[in-house]
Amino acid sequence: MITVEKITAEHIPQIYDIEKSSFSDPWSMEGFFSELDIPDRILLSATDEDMVCGYVIGSSDGITAWIDNIAVSDGFRRQGIGNMLLSAFCEKCADCESITLEVRESNIPAQELYKKYGFSAIGVRKNFYTDPRENAVVMSYQIRKE
Protein backbone atom coordinates (compact mmCIF):
# COMPACT_ATOMS: atom_id res chain seq x y z
CA MET A 1 0.00 0.00 0.00
CA ILE A 2 1.40 3.37 -1.02
CA THR A 3 1.48 6.08 1.63
CA VAL A 4 2.62 9.69 1.56
CA GLU A 5 4.97 10.72 4.35
CA LYS A 6 7.58 13.32 5.21
CA ILE A 7 10.92 12.79 3.47
CA THR A 8 13.70 11.63 5.77
CA ALA A 9 17.43 11.22 5.21
CA GLU A 10 16.84 7.51 4.59
CA HIS A 11 14.66 8.36 1.56
CA ILE A 12 17.24 10.57 -0.15
CA PRO A 13 19.31 7.90 -1.99
CA GLN A 14 16.16 6.50 -3.62
CA ILE A 15 14.84 9.99 -4.36
CA TYR A 16 18.15 10.84 -5.99
CA ASP A 17 17.86 7.73 -8.20
CA ILE A 18 14.37 8.80 -9.29
CA GLU A 19 15.66 12.33 -9.91
CA LYS A 20 18.52 11.12 -12.14
CA SER A 21 16.22 8.95 -14.23
CA SER A 22 13.55 11.67 -14.53
CA PHE A 23 15.45 14.86 -15.35
CA SER A 24 18.25 15.81 -17.73
CA ASP A 25 19.63 18.31 -15.21
CA PRO A 26 19.07 16.58 -11.85
CA TRP A 27 19.51 18.01 -8.39
CA SER A 28 22.56 16.68 -6.55
CA MET A 29 22.25 14.26 -3.67
CA GLU A 30 23.76 16.94 -1.44
CA GLY A 31 21.06 19.32 -2.60
CA PHE A 32 18.38 16.91 -1.45
CA PHE A 33 20.05 16.43 1.92
CA SER A 34 20.30 20.21 2.38
CA GLU A 35 16.54 20.54 1.84
CA LEU A 36 15.97 18.63 5.09
CA ASP A 37 17.39 21.53 7.12
CA ILE A 38 15.50 24.41 5.48
CA PRO A 39 12.52 25.79 7.41
CA ASP A 40 9.21 26.15 5.56
CA ARG A 41 10.08 23.39 3.10
CA ILE A 42 7.44 20.81 2.27
CA LEU A 43 9.12 17.46 1.60
CA LEU A 44 6.87 14.50 0.85
CA SER A 45 7.56 11.02 -0.47
CA ALA A 46 5.20 8.36 -1.75
CA THR A 47 6.40 5.02 -0.42
CA ASP A 48 5.42 1.41 -0.82
CA GLU A 49 6.79 -0.12 2.38
CA ASP A 50 10.50 0.86 2.21
CA MET A 51 10.53 1.73 -1.50
CA VAL A 52 10.21 5.37 -2.55
CA CYS A 53 7.87 5.62 -5.55
CA GLY A 54 7.86 9.39 -5.94
CA TYR A 55 8.36 12.70 -4.19
CA VAL A 56 7.38 16.35 -4.15
CA ILE A 57 9.42 19.22 -2.76
CA GLY A 58 8.28 22.79 -2.35
CA SER A 59 7.71 25.63 0.06
CA SER A 60 5.09 27.97 1.40
CA ASP A 61 5.13 31.45 2.87
CA GLY A 62 1.54 31.11 4.08
CA ILE A 63 0.16 33.05 1.10
CA THR A 64 1.73 31.35 -1.92
CA ALA A 65 3.16 27.85 -2.18
CA TRP A 66 5.64 26.68 -4.79
CA ILE A 67 6.33 23.21 -6.09
CA ASP A 68 10.01 23.03 -6.93
CA ASN A 69 10.34 19.39 -7.84
CA ILE A 70 8.02 16.43 -8.33
CA ALA A 71 8.76 13.05 -9.87
CA VAL A 72 7.50 9.48 -9.89
CA SER A 73 9.68 6.43 -10.46
CA ASP A 74 9.41 4.86 -13.93
CA GLY A 75 7.88 1.63 -12.61
CA PHE A 76 5.15 3.49 -10.72
CA ARG A 77 4.00 6.02 -13.31
CA ARG A 78 0.38 6.19 -14.46
CA GLN A 79 -0.85 4.70 -11.17
CA GLY A 80 -2.10 7.90 -9.54
CA ILE A 81 1.01 8.55 -7.46
CA GLY A 82 1.61 11.99 -8.95
CA ASN A 83 -1.98 12.85 -8.07
CA MET A 84 -1.47 11.53 -4.51
CA LEU A 85 1.61 13.71 -4.12
CA LEU A 86 -0.13 16.80 -5.53
CA SER A 87 -3.11 16.22 -3.26
CA ALA A 88 -0.93 15.82 -0.16
CA PHE A 89 1.07 18.93 -1.06
CA CYS A 90 -2.13 20.93 -1.54
CA GLU A 91 -3.43 19.73 1.84
CA LYS A 92 -0.25 21.06 3.47
CA CYS A 93 -0.89 24.40 1.76
CA ALA A 94 -4.65 24.64 2.35
CA ASP A 95 -4.30 28.06 4.01
CA CYS A 96 -2.48 29.54 1.02
CA GLU A 97 -4.11 31.48 -1.78
CA SER A 98 -2.31 29.68 -4.60
CA ILE A 99 0.28 27.11 -5.61
CA THR A 100 2.67 27.83 -8.46
CA LEU A 101 5.07 25.63 -10.42
CA GLU A 102 7.11 25.55 -13.60
CA VAL A 103 7.08 22.68 -16.08
CA ARG A 104 8.98 22.11 -19.30
CA GLU A 105 7.04 23.29 -22.33
CA SER A 106 7.50 19.85 -23.92
CA ASN A 107 6.30 17.91 -20.85
CA ILE A 108 2.70 17.58 -21.98
CA PRO A 109 1.85 14.59 -19.71
CA ALA A 110 2.84 16.60 -16.61
CA GLN A 111 0.92 19.65 -17.83
CA GLU A 112 -2.16 17.49 -18.38
CA LEU A 113 -1.88 16.08 -14.84
CA TYR A 114 -1.62 19.60 -13.41
CA LYS A 115 -4.60 20.76 -15.49
CA LYS A 116 -6.71 17.83 -14.24
CA TYR A 117 -5.86 18.92 -10.72
CA GLY A 118 -6.98 22.50 -11.40
CA PHE A 119 -3.73 24.23 -12.39
CA SER A 120 -3.82 26.61 -15.33
CA ALA A 121 -1.06 28.14 -17.42
CA ILE A 122 -0.38 31.74 -16.42
CA GLY A 123 2.83 32.51 -18.29
CA VAL A 124 6.07 31.37 -19.88
CA ARG A 125 9.64 31.75 -18.66
CA LYS A 126 11.90 31.90 -21.70
CA ASN A 127 14.93 29.57 -21.66
CA PHE A 128 14.26 28.64 -18.01
CA TYR A 129 15.60 25.10 -18.33
CA THR A 130 19.02 23.95 -19.50
CA ASP A 131 20.24 20.62 -20.86
CA PRO A 132 18.37 21.03 -23.17
CA ARG A 133 17.48 24.71 -23.13
CA GLU A 134 13.72 25.07 -23.05
CA ASN A 135 10.95 27.41 -21.95
CA ALA A 136 8.99 26.76 -18.77
CA VAL A 137 5.23 27.00 -18.62
CA VAL A 138 4.28 28.68 -15.34
CA MET A 139 1.15 27.11 -13.89
CA SER A 140 -0.91 28.14 -10.89
CA TYR A 141 -3.68 26.60 -8.82
CA GLN A 142 -5.95 29.10 -7.06
CA ILE A 143 -6.92 27.65 -3.69
CA ARG A 144 -8.80 30.70 -2.46
CA LYS A 145 -10.41 33.24 -4.72
CA GLU A 146 -10.02 36.78 -3.40
- Assigned fold of 2-142: Aminopeptidase (3.40.630)
Return the domain boundaries, the chain: 2-142
Model pLDDT for residues 65-78, shown as the tens digit of each residue: 999 999 999 888 88
Model pLDDT for residues 3-58, shown as the tens digit of each residue: 999 999 999 999 999 999 998 889 999 999 999 989 889 999 999 988 999 999 99
Catalytic residues, by residue number, are: 102, 114
Q: Determine the pLDDT at residue 146.
A: 52
Q: Whose CA is closest to 136, among 121, 126, 146?
A: 126
